[in-house]
Amino acid sequence: MQSNDDNNKNLREAAKKELEELAKVRNEFYKYLDTHLPKTENRFDFSTNPQLDAKNIYSLFYKLDYQARKLRPYMAKAYNLKLE
């Protein structure tokens, strides 16, 4: 049987891994936008109505959203939250 400290350590390690993956996926998403959208004053400039690959955008966003959802249980446990 695992001690409470071991359990907490395992949860922290798992949460850290998921946070690192979230950062990786987020970076992929922004790399795509940086590559395909011009910037004005450090903001993406949509004024030229650039054509972006919707399937690729959806795929990148889905990965980002999925990774964020994977973190929910860790956050709920850490802050004693009840999730719907």
pLDDT above 90 (res 3) = no
pTM summary value: 0.78
- pLDDT tens digits along 6-61: 888 888 899 999 999 999 999 999 999 999 999 999 899 988 888 999 999 999 99
Listed in sequence order, the residues at least 6 apart from 72 whose beta carbon sits closer than 8 Å to its beta carbon are 83
42 phi-psi bin (left φ>0, alpha ψ -120 to 50, beta other):
left
Distance of alpha carbon 82 from alpha carbon 84, whole angstroms: 7
For residue 54, the model assigns a pLDDT of 94
DSSP string covering 11-40: HHHHHHHHHHHHHHHHHHHHHHHHHHS-EE
